[in-house]
Structure 1
Amino acid sequence: MKTIKSLFVTLLALLSFSACEKDGDKIYLQSLEGNELMATADKVELNADLAQNIVLSLAWTEQTIQLSDSSVGTTTTVTNYVEASLSEDFTASVYQTEATGLSIAFTGLELNSLASQIGATNGQANTIYFRLAGTTGINIPAAYSNVVSVSVTPYEMDMNTGIVLLSNDQTENLGETGVTFHSPDADGIYHGFIAIPTAWYHILFKEGDGSIWGTSGSEGAFHLTNDANNSLQNMWFPGTAGCYYVIVDTQAAQWSALHISSLSVSGLTSESIDLTLDQTTNQWVGTFTADVAGSRTITINGQGEQYNVETGDGSGTATGIAFAADGEHVALAETAGNITVDVPQAGECTVRLNLYDPTNCTVSVEAGAAELPGGGDSGEETPVTLPESLDVVSYSTGSEVILTTLYPTGSESGVYTGTYSGEVRDQINIVDRTNSVWYGCDPDENSQLSSQDDKWNIWFDGTGAVTLTVDLTNMTWNYTAN
């Protein structure tokens, strides 16, 4: 009974409050005014080269919130969404993204991904319809802008293949190297072999969707970024040229480089056969004399150095190298596995380990003794063209820092000099940009320049200013305290 009386009193109070309101005291939130939507293009043909470029922008007028009393303000805000569909009435699959401000821009990669999400056909012109949906809250009907149409031709993204691009110390994209890495599961994790011709070789890495990956300058060597605003720099190899097995992991935003310094084959003769790297084809080659023709079981072992985010580019971790059969192909393995090859004849033969194609690494034996390549072990040569200057660089900070620049003395051909007074005293190379040669010193003779795989980094003893002299004719260098 008390409860009923209480409810009755409450109802009377509410009725009394309503009776005090006058006509016109209530302010109603009415529907939004529609926007005017505009596009910067009515036709876009996409390809991977446009992935990082702005290819389409949409802009719109500001929305106005309609109130029953125009003299009254409101704190209600409008949330805008850009919508896209292959159907003009947006009954087919719809792409939607929240938009701030009065415009939105799409890169080639973003527009291509949008087209893929709504079911556009690759390689053909698809009419994509765009509109802006604005709402002031959940469960409140959206106000739509006019619809604009754009003809978009998307491209197929091969996410199994990543392309190695040549770069330089300015992080410029100098074009494709012809080397590719493979991602079997199209999951952003790529692997493959590359033969780099010089120490501190610079590259960038491009995925099938057009994303360009490089070093995250704020994090250092072997850390990756594809964000141009995140100190994106080139990826550089350590101070040793030669053959590397590379893993590019875009998921973890890291990459690693396993330098293969030596390889040998056992099972073809009574003694193992040392292989030599052919830089131009990324093949390891060796010759031998076969006793008889026929099938043989061989193993391949070697030594190398692993570089990754833990080691940086200074000193790699000593690592054993082994190969094993992987179906009809061969692949790196923790321990050497038996590999079957056919020896075509008795007498002189050549064994080849071909690492050029990451999806088809093979071992074969051919008749005849091939001429062994010079690889990275050929003698020093004077550059064909003497450079206008030489850069003295250090990698002690994890990235290339130019310490000073050397210029010709004018009195002797090939002699360069300059001064340096900074604090960095080790992990130094002398770089000939004209001929793409990185010099260190010979391990057995500190005053001798070397660009070979086993070269040492140059260092300065003591503190204070030094005068540095480099002689490219006689391949020597020295420094004196000022």
Structure 2
Amino acid sequence: MMKRYLHTVLAAGCVSLLMLASCKKDETKLVADPANAKGGTLAASASTLVLTKATETTTAVTFTVTQPSFGYPAAPTNTLQLDVSGDNFAAPKEVVLAAKAGSVVYTGLDFNALALSLNMKTGVAAPMQVRVKSQISTAVAPVYSNVVTVTVTPYPLISYVYVPGAYQGWNPATADSLKSATGNGVYTGIINFVGTDLTYKITTAKNWNTAYGDAGSGAVSTTASSNLTAPAVGNTQLVLDENKNTLTMKAYQISIIGDGALGWDAGDDIDMTFNNGTQTWSGTATLKASGSIKFRLNHAWDTSYGGANGVASTTAGNIAIPADGKYLVTFSEATLTYTLTKQ
């Protein structure tokens, strides 16, 4: 009887062990494999783009993307990186792609804006490098696609806003302008405010249909009724950012100074006039070959430019005068060039 009982107990134990064994399930973990992660692939529909205003609404280029591999199914963030050739993506322009997007399409206008944002010269063919950065988290290093090179010739995309105010009779049709060289919504210019009334507004055209007023704390709005006010009489640099609806203002005067003109002392500056259309400063001065000159900002030495052979620099020496006489002098901070034209 005891033997039979033991047999029954042993049998039951075996059944229990079998049940435990059959119920146990190994846990499967999905773990990224950074060592074997691979970037996706990138292809461009064109390798050479000559962009023009006439074709700005048509498709210029399509980039086709395949997804990267991190060793398990993942939803990476893919970012298109664009940079000029030779910069090695040190500070690329980045465009985050839609989730699982297989392609991205650019019109001529949009891709031209990207090229200009990389400071590519208009009318000049130059290589642009493009790749895709893919990342699943900040804890895992990103992977990159192959690099595609596209030769791009951008065109100028210039837009303007206007600054009517008391300084010129509140007439938008004749008001000076602020300029956006790339059409990116950021407008810069220098306005010479005169008189005792320094109020003004900024219009998007040479009329009063749409005008920016003062919304307070450096903000502007097309619904604000209050006028904007310059900080002081004289040349003032205005920077309007339509993307952020902000406006910054600061005094900005370039002058000629040196013993090739009136001298190096305070009060010897010869103020120049700014042209918002050409983005250049100009002025006439009687110059002496026995001396030299520099250009400086706001009658101070914090920012000054010397130069030689028409090329200006903040690190260059004084500018030599070729001969005594009256000169038309021009200077461009945008291109760091100057001219001395004898009259």
Do the structures match in fold with TM over 0.5?
Answer: no
TM-score normalised according to structure 2 size? 0.39
TM-score normalised according to structure 1 size? 0.29
**More helix by percentage:** 2
